[in-house]
Structure 1
Amino acid sequence: MGPVLSSPINIYLIWYGNWKQPQKLLIKDFLLSISTTNRRAAPSPSVSDWWSTVSLYTDQTGANISRTITVAGEYNDLKYSHGTHLTRLSVQQVIATAVKTKPFPVDHRNGIYLILTADDVTMEDFCRAVCGFHYFTFPSMVGYTLPYAWVGNSGKQCPEVCAYPFAVPGYMGGGGPGKLAPPNRDVGVDGMVSVIGHELAELSSNPLVNAWYAGEDPTAPTEIGDLCEGLYGSGGGGGYIGEVMKDKEGRTFNLNGRRGRKFLVQWIWSPVLKACAGPNAID
């Protein structure tokens, strides 16, 4: 019964902590690969093809989630303005700090805020219960109600939890780097890309936690990414990620992006197929 992000989506990035430029470019290339308006179209299966499943979701008027997505602004919080340990509440203070800094804007109409924390920043429940989450800001904290998502770099903290399948948990015979090589040679950031995709899909389809989710409790919803956890290709399930591709160097991916980038991103629940879907399922 709630809204979806049906207008063109403006993503505002908050880089919290010390980020290397190649890491930033990798994440931005993924985000810029989502939009169908990107002039540098990637070959199929593409990130844009993957987002077409997300765009099937509509609001009460029948308006679909937008396929036009831009990175509209960036804020670098190099001084760790709220420390190296954040909580679900203090992350809203990070947003408040950013939007008070010109020219970083408050975008009520089309904006979503994506907070990305560096590998030396810890977060409440990170690694134990979450790899990322989304919600909306409280006016008492930020001054506005703004949809946002947080994702952390797990490379040094828990890659076996949040960078799966590039690192494998101990109970699966791992506890370190997995057998699958990350497509961009960065276990932490390649793992983040899939979590970012997961959270953006859920944020777009359930921005105020009153739209698309399964279950009776909106405070603990099962959303369109949760339903497909661990699935990256056809035939996946029971601990098998599904059929994915490898490049000539043996790096694993399932999506092509702009500038020749490759990514491994989990599938999303399709409201049409009533099943988890990716580009090869759509085609």
Structure 2
Amino acid sequence: SALQHDEITRHRSHSIHQLFNSSALAGTDTAPLSNISYHFSSQYAASFYVQYYGTWTNTQISIINTLIANIGNTTWFNIQKTYYYQATDTSPKVNTAGPLTLGGAWILSSGLGNALTGTIIPNRFIYYINNGILPNDPGGIYLWLNSASVTESINYMYGFIGNAGRFIGQGCDPSAINPTLSPNDDLGVDAMASIIAHEIVEAMSDPFGNAWYDSNGAENADKCAWNFGTVSQSPNGANYNLLAGGRYYLIQQNWNAILQACAQSA
């Protein structure tokens, strides 16, 4: 049967493909700063279901799971609460309140090989959901995370995020801020953490690409991509700006819908 979860496919034309940014090499952002506005469509207070594909250590999985399970309790996530749902222009505004939860995490067999092409990832989502391997959650958001050992020729679709570990300093990580050391001692996975946070807030405020965006089509986190604001030094000497679940992270800012500006907290 057909895949029922359209939210899985939202990234065919939205947001995550913009996260390779040559400006990241200089630690700057070139996103347009026009106001973001609401266009009367759905939002999600979602559970996230994470699939780990390839070779992952327990520590690497813990870095990601801890972030997803705890980021909803941070002042950074309070920025997301400036967004709201409204059925019509005369209906009450219902602000995002959460919760944001880690619905589950799965370590997948590497039987698909180390070079994923074409429709392999979306077809596996269809198979896993339709066969009960993943929960059938109409309000769920599903992430597929590849380890650094896996290559892909698709352009970041279906909530897919690759590991930048083999491409440090090439526009997929905050190398201008943490060139050789990251808060959790894993440059690739720490770089994924910021991209995951980016996708979490966009998937909640604009799941189908028709709710919250600006005149250029940019979603909230797009407008602040590669902006990290004020940073502090973590115990290992790396720069960080977010503490969640006892771990340190370097996470990009998010766009505050009230202030119409990038922010680090609210």
TM-score normalized by the length of structure 1? 0.71
In the TM superposition, what is the alpha-carbon distance from 1:74 to its structure 2 partner?
A: 2.5
SS at match of 1:198: helix
SS at match of 2:212: coil
Structure 1 residue 244 and structure 2 residue 231: aligned?
yes
Equivalent residue, structure 2, for 1:224: 220
With a CA cutoff of 8 Å and minimum separation of 6, indicate the structure with the bigger relative contact order: 2
Structure 1 residue 28 and structure 2 residue 65: aligned?
yes
2:104 to 41, 62, 73: 73
Structure 1 residue 265 and structure 2 residue 251: aligned?
yes
Equivalent residue, structure 2, for 1:118: 147
In the TM superposition, what is the alpha-carbon distance from 1:117 to its structure 2 partner?
A: 1.0
In the TM superposition, what is the alpha-carbon distance from 1:83 to its structure 2 partner?
A: 5.6
In the TM superposition, what is the alpha-carbon distance from 1:277 to its structure 2 partner?
A: 0.6
Equivalent residue, structure 1, for 2:51: 14
2:75 to 45, 49, 73: 49
C-alpha separation in 1, matches of 2:134 and 2:236: 40
In the TM superposition, what is the alpha-carbon distance from 1:201 to its structure 2 partner?
A: 1.1
**What is the one-letter code of the residue matched to 1:60?**
Q
SS at match of 2:126: helix
1:136-191 CA distance string (max 9 Å, x none): xxxxxxxxxxxx52211010145532122368xxxxxxxxx716x31001000000
In the TM superposition, what is the alpha-carbon distance from 1:80 to its structure 2 partner?
A: 4.1
C-alpha separation in 1, matches of 2:48 and 2:235: 33
C-alpha separation in 2, matches of 1:81 and 1:64: 41
SS at match of 1:2: coil
Equivalent residue, structure 1, for 2:86: 60
C-alpha separation in 2, matches of 1:249 and 1:60: 45
C-alpha separation in 2, matches of 1:28 and 1:182: 17
C-alpha separation in 1, matches of 2:94 and 2:120: 34
CA contact (8 A) 2:168 2:175 kept: no
**What is the one-letter code of the residue matched to 1:214?**
D
C-alpha separation in 2, matches of 1:80 and 1:267: 37
SS at match of 2:95: coil
C-alpha separation in 2, matches of 1:78 and 1:94: 11
Structure number with the higher helix fraction is 2
Distance 1:75 1:263, change over 3 A: same
C-alpha separation in 1, matches of 2:67 and 2:136: 23
Number of equivalences: 222
Structure 1 residue 4 and structure 2 residue 43: aligned?
yes
C-alpha separation in 1, matches of 2:69 and 2:187: 21
C-alpha separation in 2, matches of 1:121 and 1:66: 36
Identity of aligned residues (%): 28
Equivalent residue, structure 2, for 1:162: 172
C-alpha separation in 2, matches of 1:83 and 1:261: 30
CA contact (8 A) 1:15 1:77 kept: yes
Unaligned runs of 5+ in 2: 1-39, 88-92
RMSD, aligned CA: 2.2
C-alpha separation in 2, matches of 1:120 and 1:223: 30
TM-score normalized by the length of structure 2? 0.76
1:8-29 CA distance string (max 9 Å, x none): x211111122211110011000
Distance 1:100 1:50, change over 3 A: same
**What is the one-letter code of the residue matched to 1:96?**
I
1:209-254 CA distance string (max 9 Å, x none): 11111235xxxx3111111122111xxxxxxxxx210034312100
In the TM superposition, what is the alpha-carbon distance from 1:71 to its structure 2 partner?
A: 1.4
C-alpha separation in 1, matches of 2:116 and 2:110: 13
Distance 1:26 1:16, change over 3 A: same
Q: How do 1:140-219 residues align onto structure 2 when only pairs under 5 Å count?
A: 148-165=158-175, 178=179, 181-215=181-215
Distance 1:232 1:151, change over 3 A: same
C-alpha separation in 1, matches of 2:207 and 2:196: 15
In the TM superposition, what is the alpha-carbon distance from 1:271 to its structure 2 partner?
A: 0.7
